[in-house]
Every structure is written in C-alpha cells, then in structure tokens.
Structure 1
C-alpha cells in the first residue's frame, strides 16, 4: 500500500514512524514533513491545503490512502474534494468530511450537538456582534473565571480564560466588534468555567463502529507548575492514572457512544479520529472540546502504545469494517517531553543547529519543527522535537525521557522539567 501523510509536526512523525513499521506499506510519503519524517519515508514539498497539488501527487504516485494530520485541511473539506472527483474518489481519506469536521471547526456547532444528544459539557451561550449586550448580561450570570471561545479555528489561540468580569467584557468586545481573531471570532461561545483535571481520550471510527485508543494527559502551559502562556503542548503521558476503569466507562457510555450515534443520526459520515478533551469534575466527565484529529503531543505517546498494525485500522475505516479489526496496546507507560525554542510561544528564532539526536538509542525522538540542511538538523518552529520513552510506570518513562533529552542541544533550547508532576505518584 502507498500512503501519504499530510502534516509537518510531531504528530505526523509519530504516525509516519508507525506506518513505516507496517507489513503492508510499500511507499510512504509525508507532505510537507520535517527532518524526522524524512527518516521514515519521502518528504514532499506540498502545503496541506494545496488540494490540487495533492491530487496530482496522489495520481502520479498511485497513492491508496491519505492520512490527514492537522485540522485545517479537514475543516476546508479535503475529504469532500476527493470524494467529488472521480479520478481520486477511490483513494481513502483517513479524516472526516467537512460537515463532520465542524465538531472542531465550530465551537457553536459542537456545543449545540452536545446539548442535543445530552453529552455532559459546560453551560454555554453563543453571541454575535448584534447580540453583544446579551453577551454582557450572560457573563453576569456566571462566576469567575470566565471562558470565551472563538467559534472558528484560531490557530490554538481562540480560547480565553479571564479572571474578572471587566476583562471578560472587554475581550468579548475585542473578539466580536474588533475581530480580534478575524472571522473565527465573528461568533463567540461563552462558557461556564469547570474546575477539575483534564485528560485526552481518542477513538478511531468508520462511522458505524469505533475503537478506543489509549488515553493521555498533556501539559499546555509553558512554565513549570502549569504556569504561564498556553502552548501547543509541552509534553504528555499515557496511561492517565486517575482514569480508572469506572471513570473510563462513564466516558464511553455518556460521551463516546452518544457522539458516534449522534453523528450517525445527523446523517454525518464520520471516518477518522475523534479527540475528546475531557475534564474530570468530582469524578464525572465533561467534554471541554472535540478535535477532528489526533492531538499533539498526545499522539507521540498514544501511537507508540499501539501494538496493532495501523494500516489494518486505516483499511477498517475506509471499508467500514473497523469492528472486525483487532486493536492491541502495549501495557507499558509512555511519556514524552517537548523541547522548544527560547521565547516560544511568543517570538523565537529559527535555524538553530540541533545536536545530540543520534546519541539516543533507548527512546524515540519525534521531530516537530525541524528541517535538514545537508546532514545538519536545524530548528524550524516553536516546538522543535520531543523525546518519548517507555517504562513500567510513568515515573520510569519520564526518567528515561529526561535523561535522553538532556543529551540534545540547540541555542536557547527550553523544556519543562516537571511533566507528569501531578499524576506521577499515582502511577507507581
């Protein structure tokens, strides 16, 4: 089988690493890829939203399946583009169509969906520029802090948590009247704040049945102790110690099953991954958000724990025979630590020489923002790479990741030294 992976981050490197180890893979391409994916297959200089270019490449290389890593091409409708074109409609797209991708592409859509199918989530209301006064009044019914979410995609920056009602009202005005996030904030969802501990839950579905993947917990804040600005993710662990069988059963029965059944009832043919951002509030799960793809850096601990052949799962999704496929997981824990550019998530410098990667043999190094200059690896993004390790528990996995990440260096490199700090004692 010939497979094309779309994307250039750590998530796509982890997928490429797994696909390259399938007994069914013939040729593997990654577009645009990074210095790490180039070790697993062939990088292709194509943008993820260049649908015409992707079509031409798929025809030229006789691609059988396209795995879509990031959300943008899904929300833009790459699955619909392929389905509507008789030349490429036979190629399996692993990722939902445009209607299904609204689960991530529109916060208002996802909240209305959850309300309709009684899926537990925070109390909310949606407002536009014309209803901003009602938005101010709704804020007054809530207790601080206040959660404001841009309805559309805002490159991970569209969610604000504000300590005072004065700040919340000012930000609501900035988002709606001053287009702080462009078209993404032409509608704003205001939510009740839920206090608890978060985890990420993943399934892959063919629209009829689904298979659960290992859960994970990621760490979004730049500073230790979960302080400072939000980032794309500074590390992750799997499994999650507080996610007991009883708690996971609640998630399955109250959230996963109603979601899959609800999509089917809505006439939405969802084929691909669903990410459930869950918050544990006094041992009850609530959905914070859906994503229409795998998370990053969670993929870098979830996919290494998948023992099954991933191409088998892709075939099950494409042919709606997922229920017949076996899914096996590695019983070991996995932990990943992200190494980022100094200054990230604000301004940072690129083109820094990365050294020490080749000295690591007992962990996996997944590249996030790198490129090759001859034999040299250079930084090319805010999140540069992460080190993933296995262990009999999270503490042992983290110990190995930290030991090995210390061997890698580039100018102004930074990583958090407390990933897993809030759950590590429970995992022993």
Structure 2
C-alpha cells in the first residue's frame, strides 16, 4: 500500500525508517519531510495544516494509510476532515479526532479529564487574564516550587518551574498579560510541583484495546545536569530501570485502563498513539501530561526497539482489531543524543553545511534527521534541533557509547549537544 507520513522532524524520519522496512509498504511519502526522509521516501512540499493540499495528494498518489506525526494537525482536526469527506472516508488514519486531541491541545481539558476519571495527577487550578488577581493570591497560599503551564500548544516550551513565589507571580503576569506564549497561554494552570523521576509511557490504541510500547526517558533542558531553558528534547533512553514490573502494572491499572475507559465513557473515539508523561513519586505513578502522538526524541529510541511490522499494527488499530496483536520488544537498549544549532532554544542560525555524516553508518547506530535540508547536493542545518543520533547496545552504557562515538564525527558551525544524556539512569 501507499503510505503518507505527515511531519518533518526526527520522529517522522524514524517512522519512515521503520515503515519503509514493512512488506506492506509500497510507496512511502512524507509531507513535508526533511533531507533524511528524502533518502527513503518521496518528500511532498506540503504544510501539515493544509488539509486540502493533503487531500489532493492522497487522491493523486493513491494513498491508503496516513500517519500523523505532530500534534498541530491533530488538534486542528485532520481526522475530522478525512471522516467528513466522501473521497477520504475509506483512508486508514493514525491519530485521534479533534475532541480526543484536546488531551494534548488543552492542559485544562486534560487535567479535568484526569480528575473525573480518578487518574493520579498533581493538584492544579486554572486562571485567565480576567482572574489574574485570584491567581496571584493563590500563589501566596501554596508552597514552592510551583509549576506554571500554558493551556495550549507551545512546542514543548510552555511549562515553567518557579522556585520562589515572586518568580511565579512575575511568570504568571508575563504569560497572561504579556502573552508570552501567545494563544497557548490565554489560560494558565498553576500546578503542584511533584518531586520524583520523570519517564514516558507510550500506548497504541484503537479506542477499545491497547498495546503498551517500550517506555523511555527524555531530557528537556538545554544544559547539562538538567539546567537552563526547556527545549523540544535533547536526548532520550529506553528502557528505564525505574519502570519495573510492579510499577508498570500500576501504570496500566491506574492510568492506561482508566484513560481508555474514560474516553469510551465520554464517547470520544481515539485511534492512534497516547503518550503519557509520568512522574514516579515515592514508588507511584502520577500523570504530568498527555500527548496524542509519539514524542520526539523518544520516538528515536522507542521505535527501534519494536520488532513488529509497524504497518501491520497501524492497520489493526484503524480497523479496531488491536486485540489480535501483541507487542514484541527488542531486548536491547536504545539511546539518542540530539545535536542542535548554537543558540537553540532561543535565536539560532540556519543554513550551515554539515560534515562527517558519511562516516556514521554502522549496524547499531542510526542518524535521524530533524532540521536538515539539502542544497546543491550538500546537507545543511534547517532548524533548532538538527540531528538525533541513536545507538543500540546490550546496556544503556554501551548504547550511549555508540551514540556519542557517532556524534563526535558530525560537525557544523556552533553545533551543540549535551554530554550527560542517560548518566542519571545508568545502573
């Protein structure tokens, strides 16, 4: 079958890498893709939010399966668009509709959903510009540190951890009055700070049944030892030793089952990925957030550990037969180190030539492109996060050694990467 992946980052390159290995895949397209996906698929110069343009290409290219990578088209209702169009209704699509996508699209919606369905999560209250004064008073009453979250999509950067009350008050005013995060910050959640270890659990569901995929831990801060600004992600590892059998059983019973049941009870169909950001606090799971797609850079360590044919799993998801499948996980570790443009996540330059990539191909390492483009036959940087270098090994330590060996061969002007990915979880 002909397949279209929507998106342009490391997540989409990883999905393309895996899908291209499927015997069920005939022609593979990525819209808009990057220089990495161009090596294994046909890139289509489409905006992921241009639903009419996507429709035209789906019909023209006889595409039968669409895999939606990023959150924005899901929150904007790409599934609803397909289901409402007679020419597209038969297309298999991986990703929830607009209503289900609110689990990611609105922190306020997802927090209320968790409370309704007794899913363990931090206490929180939501404030707007009109209730700013109440929010400032509330900050006086609660202990610090405290977490401020923009309600809407903010590219992974709408979460602030404030150590002092005055700092939190200034941040709340910036978010609500100065619109620091634009539309995403029209509502702000003030949330209890949870002290524990963070990890991510990924679920593929058809709305009734589900498969729990390999877990991962990512590293959001730009600086080593988790300092500095939040980014879209500087690296990831899988497996995570704190996700032992007992803990994962709690996650399944208290979080996964209650979430799927809650969606059913509220009449919200959901076919696709559910990413559950967790905090392990005193041995128990608390949900920090939901995403309604795979994470990036977690995809770069989760997907290489899945032995199944991904297209086969997607088709079972689309037709409601996921109960017939089981997940097969590679019993090796995967790690990824993200290489970024100097200055990221703030101002950074694009267009620098990349060298050394031709020396990185090995059986146990993969370089997934995020922000790259090809000009005059040469690879150039084209984003903040540029490359994700994944290593496989019999242990996290071995996998990290392989990732970093390849990272050191790759260069461009002002490149940067964290040198401490995974160090906190190596046994």
TM-score (normalised: structure 1): 0.98
Mapped contact 2:372–2:379 kept (Cα < 8 A): yes
Contact 2:157 2:232 in 1 (8 A): no
Q: Residues 75 and 101 of structure 1 are in contact (CA less than 8 Å); yes or no, is this contact kept in structure 2?
A: yes
Q: Which moved more, 1:309-318 or 1:221-230?
A: 221-230
CA distance in 1, matches of 2:227, 2:174: 25
Q: Where does residue 207 of structure 1 map in the other structure? A: 207
Contact 1:350–1:381 under 8 Å retained in 2 = yes
> 8 Å contact 1:147–1:162 — kept in the other structure?
yes
Find 1:387's aligned residue among 386, 389, 397: 389
Q: Which residue of 1 is the match for residue 132 of structure 2? A: 132
Distance in structure 2 (CA, Å) of the matches to 1:343 and 1:228: 12
The match for 2:270 is: 270
Q: 1:146 to 1:87 in 2, by over 3 A?
A: same
- Residue aligning to 2:402: 400
- Does the 8 A contact of 2:29 with 2:42 survive in 1? yes
Residue 16 (structure 1) shift: 0.2
Cα distance in 2, alignment partners of residues 318 and 179 from structure 1:
39
Q: Does 1:51 align with 2:51?
A: yes
Q: Which moved more, 1:397-406 or 1:171-180?
A: 171-180
Alpha-carbon distance in 2 for matches of 1:260, 1:153: 22
Which residue is equivalent to 2:150?
A: 150
User: CA shift at 1:137, angstroms?
Assistant: 2.5
Match of 1:409 in 2: 411
Paired with 1:177 and 1:422, the residues of 2 have a C-alpha distance of 38
Which deviations, in whole Å up to 9, do the C-alpha atoms of 1:379-402 show, x marking residues without a partner? 100111011111000000001111
**Corresponding residue of 1:419:** 421
The match for 1:102 is 102
* CA distance, structure 2, for counterparts of residue 6 and residue 178 of structure 1: 33
Cα drift, residue 141 of structure 1: 2.6
The residue number in structure 2 matching 1:179 is: 179
Cα distance in 2 for residues equivalent to 1:54 and 1:114: 34
Unmatched 5+ residue regions in structure 2?
A: none
- Counterpart-to-counterpart distance in 1, 2:316 and 2:6: 20
SS of residue in 2 equivalent to 1:140: helix
Corresponding residue of 1:37: 37
Alignment partners' CA distance in 2, 1:136 and 1:349 = 38
1:232 and 1:172 mapped to 2: Cα distance? Answer: 22
Q: Which runs of 5 or more structure 1 residues have no equivalent in the other structure?
A: none
Deviations for 1:252-309, whole angstroms, at most 9, x for unmatched residues?
Answer: 1110110011011110000000000001111111000000100000000000001000
Q: d(CA) in 1 for partners of 2:384 and 2:181? A: 20
Structure 1 stretch displaced more, 183-192 or 69-78: 183-192
Identify the residue that residue 336 of structure 1 maps to in structure 2.
Answer: 336
| Pairwise CA distance, 1:326 | 3.0
Encode CA deviations 1:17-50: one digit per residue, 9 max, x unaligned. Answer: 0000001000100000001001111001001000
Matched residue, 2:311: 311
Shift of 1:156: 2.1
Q: Is the 8 A contact 2:13 2:37 kept in 1?
A: yes
**Alpha-carbon contact 2:66-2:91 (below 8 Å) kept:** yes
Which range moves more in the overlay, 68-77 or 368-377?
368-377
Moved more, 407-416 or 298-307: 407-416
Question: Could you tell me which residue of structure 2 aligns to residue 25 of structure 1?
Answer: 25
Conserved? CA contact 2:155–2:232, under 8 Å: no
CA distance in 2, matches of 1:289, 1:368: 24
The match for 2:165 is 165
Deviates most, 114-123 or 177-186: 177-186
Correspondence 1:153-302 to 2 at 5 A: 153-302=153-302
Counterpart contact for 1:196–1:281, Cα < 8 Å? yes
Q: CA RMSD in A?
A: 1.0
User: Once the two structures are superposed, what CA deviation does each residue of 1:120-171 show, in whole Å capped at 9, x if it has no partner?
Assistant: 0001111122222221232223211121111111222221111211121222
1:66 counterpart SS class: strand
Tell me the SS of whatever aligns to 2:63.
Answer: coil
1:114-129 paired onto structure 2 within 5 Å: 114-129=114-129
The alignment partner of 1:64 has SS state of: strand
1:80 paired with 2:83, answer no
Tell me how far 1:76 sits from its aligned partner: 0.3
- Rounded to whole Å, the distance in 2 between the matches of 1:18 and 1:244 is 27
Instruction: Decide whether the 8 Å contact of 1:312 with 1:325 is kept in 2.
Output: no
Runs of 4+ aligned residues of structure 1 deviating over 3 Å after TM superposition are: none
State TM-score, norm by structure 2: 0.98
Deviation of 1:417 after TM superposition, in Å, equals 1.0
